[in-house]
């Protein structure tokens, strides 16, 4: 008996040491995923400010509805509705995000009341002319990336895991991303995006984190800076309502005609 | 239409409106308005009757062909060329409102309100166009005036819509073949994308086996056509013809439709059945309609029809496959028609953020050459999306008749100028139009249209 305990005492710390940096990276991603699961649904408003290199600004207003999908390896369902500018008011995009499979996407064109199926390979394309690509806005699924923990370091007032992740899905615009995740609450503080030439393309900085339902952290501000063009986009999210009672029927393509 | 049914409908709508407005008044909704300043320029003068080198029969042959394409039976048209000549001559002497420059203004307010935890909503979208040239194009409509209420539980939800609404069915780009609920507002645009509001009661059930839509359509809307002074019309303006209905209920004939649709992960399918008044009128002749202005006794007949249709979209990588097919039965005709094709996307072309979608579609109609626009036509198109902060888009589409090589080309450009202003450009060209092609009616009507849109 003592022998067994002695062996265990040897093995347990050893196995912790034996965890590779890849395993540690994956572990952090899984922890982050677990921490964010169980929210069921939420809605929020978004104000997106696009700024070009000359400092000229364009402001878009949207609202978003998200429904949690609990199946393993599957992403959430989300609906993004444009409120302003007036010419795109009522235009809506419905996305079923998946792990490695391409997302399913539908666009609603209010002028003709048409629900149009979209090609989902357009991952690296800009969203509404912003610095956010479609894949940057896709709901996080652990299976979408392979991970590698690089180091721990201070990030502002917090301590962060620095984890590199490599997209495993097709048609990504990135060869890799480096993420800073705070060790305490697993909030994503910063992401560096490296393009296919492995040059630093963009940096996303998230701030103003707020806690909802005592469990779910959401950033108020996400600022994406393009280092090549000097353009930036600031996305400010507000009015988060968790547990709004959204139903799967509200995320059917057919339901897009009800969007306002 | 009889005065009684008209009154009755107005009363019904009135009661409905009061009920809805009472409920909605508890909370102020949101109003917004769109105003379009349009300028349509036709490069050539309108098609006229040539005075030299043609016999009357030859002259009117094109219109005769057009009538055939509108369902006129070849058996009773022996006298038509001459008769048509007389009408078109009389319409031409009343002359010639048909100019080359056509400014017009659209005002389109929109009201929306929701209440009871977003389970109920009401939207109201009237439409008004004032046109400088064609008094038939100066018209008003209620595009939407609908009360939507959600019922049932999260697992077994259903939805009820009562009022005037618009519904779109379909998958293809070159035409909207199976889209049958709303009448076409043809005087707006010949692309059949402008629709008149349709009075309806619609119940929608969503389950894991799909979505079931049930429609009761208590009132029929006649198609709008360009008037005598308008462009994009055949030699005789169809707006001037008398209208008859096969059903004695005329416009108050109740139509029904049923649609099942479901999205599988990469395939969307819809199967629909429609029974009621055909949205496409048939041109016919009858002695009772003979007047000096209409010596052939031409009239538009709205027949009863039943239509079964399927529409499908399938996604595979960068490819989207599309199919629409229908079978339609009337007392005068039964035919099937289909459109099938692909869309292929190039994302981020030439290391830019631009996306290009390309389209290739084939249209078939069993009624054959001269009887339908899309009887054997290939559509090639492209959509360039600049993905910029101004939402700039350019669309180009060419429809080619494989039998007579008649070509119809459409170019569309849109761009936001500021938060409240947008600009649109539209070009429509008809090339090498065969005299036997239904589009021959529009052969001189190629146009360019510029629009400035202001949102309030």
Query: Count of alpha carbons within 13 Å of A161, Cβ hemisphere only?
Result: 23
Judged by CB atoms within 8 Å, which residues 248-307 of B form the interface with A?
Answer: 261, 263, 265-266, 268
Q: What is the CATH number of domain A21-258?
A: 2.50.20.10
Tell me, what DSSP letter sits at residue B116? Answer: T
**Interatomic CA distance for residues B449 and B425, integer angstroms:** 6
Chain A closest CA to B53's CA: distance in Å? 46
Model pLDDT, residue B71: 67
- For residue B23, the surrounding DSSP H or E stretch is helix B3-25
Contact B198, B183 (CB under 8 A): yes
The verdict on B7 touching A (C-beta cutoff 8 Å) is: no
A85 prior amide bond cis, ω within 30:
yes
List of long-range contacts for B239-243, beta carbons under 8 Å, 24+ apart: B239/B136, B239/B187, B240/B91, B240/B293, B240/B294, B241/B283, B241/B289, B241/B294, B241/B298, B241/B299, B241/B300, B242/B289, B242/B294, B242/B299, B242/B300, B243/B281, B243/B299, B243/B300, B243/B301, B243/B302
**Interatomic CA distance for residues B139 and B128, integer angstroms:** 6
The verdict on B113 touching A (C-beta cutoff 8 Å) is: no
Judged by CB atoms within 8 Å, which residues 418-447 of B form the interface with A?
Answer: 419-420, 422
Model pLDDT, residue B383: 94
The verdict on B318 touching A (C-beta cutoff 8 Å) is: yes
- What is the value of ipTM here, to two decimals? 0.85
Q: List the structure tokens of B147.
A: 């009360």
β-sheet with B298-302: strand ranges across: B243-245, B298-302, B282-285
∠ CA A179-A185-A186, nearest 5°, is: 25
User: What's B136's domain CATH number?
Assistant: 2.40.160
- For residue B67, the surrounding DSSP H or E stretch is helix B56-69
The verdict on B6 touching A (C-beta cutoff 8 Å) is: no
The verdict on B222 touching A (C-beta cutoff 8 Å) is: no
What is the value of pTM for the model shown?
0.87
Residue pLDDT, tens place only, A150-160: 999 999 899 99
Cβ separation of B420 and A122 shorter than 8 Å? no
Q: What is the domain extent for residue B66? A: 3-455
**Interatomic CA distance for residues B332 and B80, integer angstroms:** 20
Residue pLDDT, tens place only, A96-127: 988 888 889 999 999 999 999 988 777 888 88
Per-residue tens of pLDDT for chain A, all 260 residues = 566 656 555 555 555 556 899 999 999 999 999 999 999 999 999 999 999 989 899 999 999 999 999 888 788 999 999 999 999 999 999 999 888 888 899 999 999 999 999 887 778 888 888 999 989 988 888 999 999 999 999 998 999 999 999 999 888 899 999 999 999 999 999 999 999 999 999 999 999 999 999 999 999 999 999 999 999 999 999 999 999 889 888 899 988 988 88
Nearest residue, CB atoms, A124 vs list B34, B347, B453: B347
Chain B closest CA to A189's CA: distance in Å? 26
In chain A, residues with a C-beta closer than 8 Å to the C-beta of B342 are none
Contact B283, B73 (CB under 8 A): no
Model pLDDT, residue B3: 44
Q: List the structure tokens of B92.
A: 């031409």
Per-residue tens of pLDDT for chain B, all 456 residues = 344 445 555 555 555 555 555 555 556 789 999 999 999 999 988 877 654 445 555 555 556 666 666 766 655 544 555 566 666 666 655 556 788 999 999 999 999 999 988 899 999 999 999 999 999 999 999 999 999 999 998 889 999 999 999 999 999 999 999 999 999 999 999 989 999 999 999 999 999 899 999 999 999 999 999 998 999 988 788 898 999 999 999 999 999 999 999 998 889 999 999 999 999 998 888 889 988 777 778 899 999 999 999 999 999 888 999 999 999 999 888 999 999 999 998 887 877 888 899 999 999 999 877 777 788 999 999 999 998 889 999 999 999 999 888 899 999 999 999 989 999 999 999 998 887 777 878 888 999 999 999 999
Model pLDDT, residue B78: 47
Judged by CB atoms within 8 Å, which residues 149-178 of B form the interface with A?
Answer: 154, 157, 159, 166-168, 170-171
Please state whether beta strands A221-226 and A41-51 pair in parallel, antiparallel, or not at all (unpaired): unpaired
**Interatomic CA distance for residues B340 and A71, integer angstroms:** 35
For chain A, what are the domain ranges? 21-258
In chain B, residues with a C-beta closer than 8 Å to the C-beta of A58 are 389
In chain A, residues with a C-beta closer than 8 Å to the C-beta of B211 are 252, 254
CA distances to A203, B33, B36, B188, B402 from B138, in Å: 53, 18, 14, 10, 36
Packing angle, helices B56-69 and B80-93, rounded to 10: 100
Model pLDDT, residue B5: 47
The verdict on B417 touching A (C-beta cutoff 8 Å) is: no
User: Partners of A146 in the beta sheet?
Assistant: A166
- Cβ density class B168-181: b for 16+ within 10 Å, e for less: bbbbbbbbbbbbbb
In this structure, what is the dihedral angle of CA atoms A120, A123, A126, A132, given to the nearest 10 degrees?
120
Model pLDDT, residue B10: 55
**Interatomic CA distance for residues B397 and B392, integer angstroms:** 17
In chain B, residues with a C-beta closer than 8 Å to the C-beta of A50 are 389
The verdict on B320 touching A (C-beta cutoff 8 Å) is: yes
If one counts the domains in chain B, the total is: 1
Model pLDDT, residue B244: 95
Cβ separation of A84 and B419 shorter than 8 Å? yes
């Amino acid at each position: 008996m003592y022998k067994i305990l002695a062996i265990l005492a040897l093995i347990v710390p050893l196995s912790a040491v034996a965890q590779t940096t890849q395993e540690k990276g994956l572990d952090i991603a899984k922890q982050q995923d677990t921490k964010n699961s169980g929210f069921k649904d939420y809605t929020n408003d978004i104000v997106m400010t696009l700024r070009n290199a000359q400092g000229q600004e364009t402001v878009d207003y949207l609202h978003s509805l998200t429904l949690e999908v609990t199946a393993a390896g599957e992403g959430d369902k989300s609906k993004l509705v444009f409120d302003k500018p007036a010419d795109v008011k009522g235009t809506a995009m419905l996305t079923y995000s998946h792990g490695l499979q391409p997302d399913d996407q539908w666009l609603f064109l209010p002028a003709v009341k048409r629900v149009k199926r979209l090609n989902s390979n357009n991952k690296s394309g800009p969203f509404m002319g912003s610095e956010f690509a479609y894949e940057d806005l896709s709901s996080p699924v652990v299976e979408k990336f392979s991970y590698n923990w690089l180091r721990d370091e201070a990030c502002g007032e917090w301590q962060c895991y620095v984890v590199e992740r490599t997209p495993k899905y097709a048609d990504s615009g990135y060869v890799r991303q480096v993420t800073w995740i705070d060790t305490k609450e697993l909030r994503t503080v910063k992401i560096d995006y490296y393009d296919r030439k492995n040059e630093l393309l963009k940096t996303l900085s998230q701030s103003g984190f707020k806690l909802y339902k005592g469990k779910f952290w959401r950033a108020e501000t996400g600022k994406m800076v393009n280092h090549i063009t000097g353009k930036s986009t600031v996305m400010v999210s507000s009015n988060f309502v968790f547990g709004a009672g959204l139903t799967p029927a509200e995320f059917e393509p057919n339901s897009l005609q009800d969007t306002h | 239409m009889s005065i009684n049914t008209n009154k009755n409908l107005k009363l019904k709508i009135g009661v409905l409106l009061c009920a809805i407005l009472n409920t909605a008044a508890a909370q102020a909704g949101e109003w917004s308005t769109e105003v379009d300043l349009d300028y349509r320029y036709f490069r050539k003068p309108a098609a006229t009757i040539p005075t030299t080198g043609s016999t009357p029969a030859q002259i009117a042959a094109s219109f005769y062909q057009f009538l055939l394409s509108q369902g006129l039976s070849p058996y009773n048209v022996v006298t038509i060329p001459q008769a048509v000549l007389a009408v078109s001559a009389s319409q031409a002497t009343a002359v010639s409102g048909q100019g080359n420059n056509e400014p017009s203004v659209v005002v389109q307010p929109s009201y929306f309100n929701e209440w009871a935890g977003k389970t109920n909503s009401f939207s109201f979208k009237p439409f008004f166009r004032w046109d400088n040239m064609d008094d038939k194009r100066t018209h008003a409509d209620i595009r939407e005036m609908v009360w939507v209420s959600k019922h049932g539980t999260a697992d077994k939800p259903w939805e009820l819509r009562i009022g005037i609404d618009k519904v779109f069915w379909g998958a293809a780009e070159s035409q909207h073949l199976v889209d049958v609920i709303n009448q076409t507002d043809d005087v707006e645009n010949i692309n059949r994308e402008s629709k008149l509001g349709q009075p309806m009661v619609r119940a929608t059930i969503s389950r894991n086996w799909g979505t079931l839509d049930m429609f009761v359509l208590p009132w029929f809307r006649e198609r709008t056509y360009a008037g005598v002074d308008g462009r994009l019309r055949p030699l005789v303006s169809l707006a001037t013809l008398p209208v008859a209905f096969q059903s004695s209920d005329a416009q108050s004939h109740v139509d029904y439709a049923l649609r099942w649709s479901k999205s599988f992960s990469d395939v969307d399918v819809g199967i629909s059945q429609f029974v009621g008044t055909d949205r496409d009128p048939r041109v016919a002749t009858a002695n009772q309609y003979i007047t000096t202005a209409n010596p052939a006794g031409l009239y538009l007949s709205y027949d009863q029809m039943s239509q079964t249709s399927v529409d499908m979209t399938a996604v595979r990588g960068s490819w989207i496959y599309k199919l629409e097919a229908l079978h339609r039965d009337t007392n005068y005709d039964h035919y099937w028609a289909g459109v099938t094709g692909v869309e292929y996307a190039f994302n981020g072309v030439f290391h830019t953020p631009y996306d290009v979608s390309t389209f290739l579609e084939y249209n078939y109609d069993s009624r054959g050459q001269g009887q339908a626009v899309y009887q054997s036509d290939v559509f090639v198109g492209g959509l360039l999306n600049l993905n910029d902060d101004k939402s700039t888009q350019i669309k180009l589409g060419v429809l080619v008749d494989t039998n007579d090589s008649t070509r119809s080309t459409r170019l569309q450009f849109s761009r936001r100028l500021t938060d409240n202003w947008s600009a649109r450009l539209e070009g429509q060209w008809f090339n090498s139009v065969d005299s036997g092609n239904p589009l021959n009616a529009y052969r001189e009507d190629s146009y360019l249209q510029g629009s400035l849109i202001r949102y309030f």
